[in-house]
Amino acid sequence: MATLATTAPRTAPVASPGVWTPAYSLWLREIVRFYRQKARVIGVIATPLLFWILLGSGFAHSFQSSQSSGSYLAYFFPGSVVMIVLFTAIFSMMSLIQDRNEGFLLSVLAAPVSRSAIVLGKVLGGATLAAIQGIIFLVFTPLVGIHPDAAAILIGIFVIVLISFELTALGFAIAWPMDSPQAFHAIVNILLLPLWMLSGALFPADRASGWLGWLMHLNPLSYGVDALRNALFPAEHTLLPLDLNLAITGGFCAVVFLASWAIVNRRTNKPAA
């Protein structure tokens, strides 16, 4: 093979992409993909609105609420916001499974990118979409007779951002090892939906009986919903004060994000994708 040595040695320029550029790129892709699929945009805005009006109106007539602001629609409002966030988080993490099946993820894994950048980009992308939609839903507050001031809106936005991040990171940790959307759906049904149902979104934790009440107190999402209630209905009775709710929600964000990070960083002898 004498011919091989005759040409000058050549190796590619070595530049490390760092964490932020790849993370930004993955984040941007989530956003661009989302608004290019119009049906997703409509579905994700319309579904919670529909749920909120149908469920809320139904329950409002079936149960007498003793909440001070009266209507069940108002009680159900923070829960609906969290539901939008949950739906969007689930949808965007479904794309992780799609990426894996199509081979897009393979090309990301084979790039000189740290796995942290992958988690960060993907989770922030999903969380951004979820948060934007949750925040858009705040526009409907006057419909339930709430007129939050600027401070309340800012706190509300902050809480929505936290919840978006925690649910998306949770979705990421669940979706990462999976290769079928059906399996992911099963987990969504047995884990994520109950997580939401028992978060005080539909009925208050301190009036739920026995074990159900316990589960609701153990559910980290309860404190996110509670924090949102703190923000929107400062006069309302809640489980915990705002600062404690925020601390618990922030803590849970960190836990699920670290869990995602740990799951992604496992290196194995098995096929990566």
Partner 1 sequence: MATLTQSGRVESRYGGQAFPIELDGVTHDYGTRLALDRLSFQVGRAEIFGLLGPNGSGKTTLFRILSTLMVPTGGAARIQGYDAAREPNKVRQQTGIVFQARSVDIKLTVAENLKHQGHLYGLSGRHLKTRIDEVLSRVGLLDRARDKVETLSGGQQRRVELAKGLIHSPSVLLLDEPSTGLDPGARRDLWLYLRMLRDQEGVTVLVTTHLMEEAEHCDRLAILSEGKLVALGSPAELKSQIGGDVVTFETAGPEQAARLAEMMANRFVAGPAVLGNRVRVEREQGHRFVTEVVEAFPGAVQSVSVAKPSLEDVFIDRTGHRFWNEDQPETEPKKKGRH
Degrees to nearest 5, angle at CA 136 with 153 and 72: 75
Q: Please tell me the distance from the alpha carbon of residue 70 to that of residue 91, in angstroms, as a whole number.
A: 33
Q: For partner 1, which is the closer residue by CB, 51 or 104? A: 104
Residue numbers 15-44 binding partner 1 by CB under 8 A: 15-18, 21-22, 24-26, 28-29, 32-33, 36-37
**Rounded CA gap, 73 and 242, in Å?**
22
Instruction: Kindly identify the residues of this chain, within the stretch 52-91, that bind partner 1 according to CB under 8 A.
Output: none
Candidates 50, 111, 143, 262; binder of partner 1 (CB under 8 A) is 111
**Widest pairwise Cα distance in the chain:** 90
- At residue 153, the 3 state secondary structure works out as helix
Please tell me whether residue 116 binds partner 1 under the rule CB under 8 A.
Answer: no
Report the residue number, 36 or 61, with the smaller CB distance to partner 1.
36
**Segment lying near partner 1 (by CB under 8 A), choices 6-14, 196-204, 206-214, 237-245:** 6-14
Q: Where are the alpha helices (DSSP H) in 38-138?
A: 38-62, 72-102, 104-109, 115-137
Identified binder of partner 1 from the candidate list 38, 61, 147, 270, rule CB under 8 A: 270
- Token pair, residue 66, equals 């003793």
Does 269 participate in binding partner 1 (rule CB under 8 A)? yes
Closest to 157 in 3D by CA, of 246, 50, 45, 48: 246
List of residues contacting partner 1 (CB under 8 A): 1, 4-5, 7-18, 21-22, 24-26, 28-29, 32-33, 36-37, 102-104, 106-113, 267-273
